[in-house]
Amino acid sequence: MMRQKKYTIILTSNTATSPKKISVSQKQLSIGFIIFVILTVSFVSFLTDYFQLNVDQWKLHSLKKENQQLEKKFVYVERSFKELENKVQQLTDFSRKLKLITTISTRSPQLNTGYGKVSFDSQILALSQNNPQRQLASYKKPQKNNRKIDVTPTEMSNEIEIRIEQLKEANQLIKQDVWQLYSDLLKKQEFLNNTPSILPTRGWVSSTYGYRNETVFVDHQPQFHKGLDIATRRGEPVVSTADGKVVYAGYDEFGYGNLLVIDHGYNLKTYYAHLSEIKVEKGSFVNRGQEIASVGNTGKSTGPHLHYEIRIFDQSVNPENYIVDDFH
């Protein structure tokens, strides 16, 4: 049996009289070295875990802080979007008001000026192309936790702030467009109010605008009828078909009998003939739908009826183009 090798460790001291000797076998030395390595590795591992834990805690603290900031941003987003929604609702209500200030049906008549027909509908439609709801349609409210976020909370919060500012700018532009629409419509309101758009009296049409066989005037020769004859009982109310000023109220010697002429501005006038009674005076202002006279049979007339004319630049036009209500 081989004898085991031993190592001697000599310890000396300044005060000791003789050195101390410690004998260690090779096996004991190997075991001691292994224990030392294990302790060293354990200590290093402990230090590594300790520092990693501190780093994780710092990251967690930082993440919590960012999450708190992000939650505050979301609260701000909710409040901002609520304000924007309220503003959009106000704009919607305001646009509804714009539709009411025209005061007539959307089935607007066409104005035959001799230079072509101008539809009021097309003018208003051109103004209403700036639809506030349509302009905001592309802006959608962001949803929480619906998808994986590939950016940091800070980047997201910055993006949200930018988005809100864009929404505010868009809302301001829409508001300016609506106010411009309102201003334009106010300018057109007088024009719309002063344009004939309703029947002047109740009854049935006995003679339309255009050529006809006129037995009263010239020996059965075709004559051009400049207006619209509405047959009804004597005394039936006659109303103004638009706002305007009475420029003639009296008896006409050329066949119209009791005649009422209203000037609506824009070189447009309406004529109401064969009246039994005139209820407004020359120089007075009247509104659409206001009673101005009564149906009669004065002048060159074969029976009670209203002769109704519209003239632009003193040239007659077809009154049917200026009746918004269903034509009877």
Mean pLDDT, rounded, of the chain: 76
Query: Are the CB atoms for 249 and 260 separated by under 8 Å?
Result: yes
Q: Percentage of the chain with pLDDT > 90?
A: 33
pLDDT, position 267? 93
Above 70 in pLDDT, residue 213? Answer: no
Rg (CA), the chain: 48
CB 245 within 8 A of CB 283: yes
Out of 100-109, 142-151, 179-188, 230-239, least confident range: 100-109
CA–CA distance, 295 with 278 (Å, rounded to integer): 9
Q: Which two tokens stand for residue 56?
A: 């994780």
Give the pair of three-digit tokens for residue 268. Answer: 């447009």
pLDDT tens, residue by residue, 3-46: 667 777 777 777 656 777 777 777 777 888 888 888 888 888 88
pLDDT in the model for residue 70: 77
- For the segment 127-135, the average pLDDT, to the nearest whole number, is 41
Residue 167, token pair as written in the block: 């929404």
Residue with tokens 């192309």: 129
For residue range 46-66, list pLDDT tens digits in order.
Answer: 888 888 888 888 888 888 888
pTM of the entire structure?
Answer: 0.49
Q: pLDDT band for 292, please (50, 70, 90 cuts).
A: very high
CB count within 10 Å of CB 151 equals: 10
Q: Where are the beta strands (DSSP E) in the chain?
A: 6-11, 20-25, 110-112, 117-119, 204-207, 210-213, 222-225, 228-231, 237-239, 244-252, 257-263, 268-278, 285-286, 291-295, 305-312, 315-317
